């Protein structure tokens, strides 16, 4: 990959080369060979035959051989545990080497950059952690400072919300070349993309899910949008996690917002109580309705059945009466008298002159208790 910016990005042009303002490079500074050779000649004159005189052909050969050896050894470089080595040949990306002692062809044929590509970095947006060191007491700590120009955002229902969040990112294992040559300021790029993605996701949401249980959904949406944007620009950066630290209303309206939340909690509590009462009363009312309905239906069935039976009985009597009126009339008279006099005391009177005919009171005699043996009459 050449040193020129391949397509660039929205936050600046690519690096200019090993002698320009390159991207986060911690590689070795190119040596000044002429100055080094001049100093080497001065030192060799003191040890070579002839003293301080001019060097002969043999001296120049010795100096040249030593210079070549030292030039060859200058290609060794060390890569720290949290770094990756990027070897460039005449300014073009060649390969990536792992941490440890490595070698590249001496400068100016090859050069190496050692970005901290294995370290997980953190960027805080909407807040700053300030170190607080107290002189004279030896105490130290940290304070959190809010940055409202980064944290104040507009939601989809036109409310303002204060969002503080952190982004954890690292360089992709196979994207070190993109990380070095496609962007200039990696931290500034990640910060700008994170703030833009958070504002877009918050702008599509309402304030209530953000303040209650929608943080995880928002974090996932912001992480996906950030990764998609960084991949589009070929930044070679992997977003590890988006973590929302604080989501609240602005300080100017936080008291009123808390009152609104308390009113909503009271509304929810009253609704739950009403639902519980309805769940208790409605089944009871439905049970009573079912009971009354069943009783009415049973009474209706009973009344209809009795009426139907009486109708059938009347029709049967009518049929018999039409066949034998005298006999039927006499029978009806006797049955009626039987029903009338069945439960009453009766006195039989003869139609003659003898008057009342005595009768044996069988019912009263039957109700008397039998006398016990040996009792006095």
Look-up of token digits 């970095």: 121
Which two tokens mark 237? Answer: 């950066």
Which two tokens mark 350? Answer: 């003869």
Q: What confidence category does residue 352 fall into, taking pLDDT thresholds of 50, 70 and 90?
A: low
**What residues form DSSP beta bridges with 96?**
86
Residue 353 to residue 62: CA distance in whole angstroms? 185
Contacts of residue 123, defined as CB under 8 A and 6 or more positions apart, other chains included, come to 166, 167, 169, 187, 190, 191, 194
> What are the tens digits of pLDDT across the range 26-61?
444 555 656 766 776 666 566 555 554 555 677 677
Predicted pLDDT of residue 198: 92
Length of the chain as a residue count: 377
* Global pTM value: 0.50
Predicted pLDDT of residue 10: 43
In this structure, which CATH number among 3.30.479.30, 3.40.640.10, 3.40.50.1370, 3.20.20.70 belongs to the domain 121-251? 3.30.479.30
- For the CA atoms of 259, 262, 268, 273, the dihedral, rounded to the nearest 10 degrees, stands at -120
Which two tokens mark 54? Answer: 């001019």
Instruction: Using alpha carbons, select from 246, 224, 220, 218 the residue that is nearest to residue 161.
Output: 246
Instruction: Using alpha carbons, select from 108, 95, 87 the residue that is nearest to residue 30.
Output: 108
- For the chain, the structural domain boundaries read 121-251
> What are the tens digits of pLDDT across the range 313-327?
888 888 888 888 888
Would you call 141 helix, strand, or coil by DSSP?
Answer: strand
Contact 44, 202 (CB under 8 A): no
Cα within 13 Å of Cα(215), Cβ side: 15
Please classify residue 16 by burial: count the beta carbons closer than 10 Å to its beta carbon, then call 0-12 exposed, 13-18 middle and 19+ buried.
middle
Predicted pLDDT of residue 91: 67
């Amino acid at each position: 990959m050449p040193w020129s910016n391949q397509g660039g990005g929205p936050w600046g042009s690519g690096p200019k080369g090993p002698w320009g303002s390159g991207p986060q490079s911690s590689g070795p500074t190119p040596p000044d060979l002429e100055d080094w050779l001049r100093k080497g000649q001065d030192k060799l004159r003191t040890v070579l035959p002839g003293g301080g005189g001019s060097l002969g052909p043999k001296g120049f050969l010795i100096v040249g051989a030593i210079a070549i050896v030292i030039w060859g050894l200058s290609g060794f470089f060390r890569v720290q545990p949290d770094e990756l080595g990027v070897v460039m040949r005449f300014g073009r990306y060649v390969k990536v080497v792992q941490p440890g002692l490595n070698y590249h062809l001496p400068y100016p044929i090859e050069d190496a950059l050692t970005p901290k590509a294995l370290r997980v970095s953190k960027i805080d947006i909407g807040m700053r952690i300030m170190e607080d060191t107290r002189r004279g007491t030896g105490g130290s700590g940290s304070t959190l400072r809010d940055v409202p120009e980064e944290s104040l955002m507009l939601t989809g229902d036109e409310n303002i919300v204060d969002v503080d969040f952190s982004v954890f990112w690292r360089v992709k294992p196979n994207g070190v070349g993109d990380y070095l040559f496609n962007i200039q300021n990696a931290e500034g790029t990640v910060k700008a993309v994170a703030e833009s993605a958070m504002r877009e996701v918050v702008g599509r949401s309402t304030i209530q899910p953000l303040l209650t249980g929608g943080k995880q959904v928002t974090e996932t949406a912001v992480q996906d949008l950030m990764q998609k944007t960084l991949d589009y620009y070929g930044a070679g950066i992997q977003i590890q996690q988006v973590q929302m630290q604080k989501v609240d209303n602005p300080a100017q309206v936080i008291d009123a917002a808390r009152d609104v939340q308390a009113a909503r909690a009271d509304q929810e509590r009253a609704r739950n109580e009403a639902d519980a009462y309805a769940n208790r009363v409605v089944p009871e009312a439905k049970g009573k309705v079912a009971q009354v309905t069943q009783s009415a239906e049973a009474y209706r069935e009973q009344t209809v059945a009795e009426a139907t039976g009486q109708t059938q009985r009347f029709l049967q009597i009518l049929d018999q009466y039409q066949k034998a009126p005298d006999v039927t009339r006499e029978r009806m008279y006797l049955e009626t008298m039987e029903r009338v006099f069945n439960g009453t005391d009766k006195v039989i009177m003869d139609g003659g002159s003898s008057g009342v005919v005595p009768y044996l009171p069988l019912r009263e005699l039957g109700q008397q208790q039998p006398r016990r043996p040996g009792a006095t009459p």
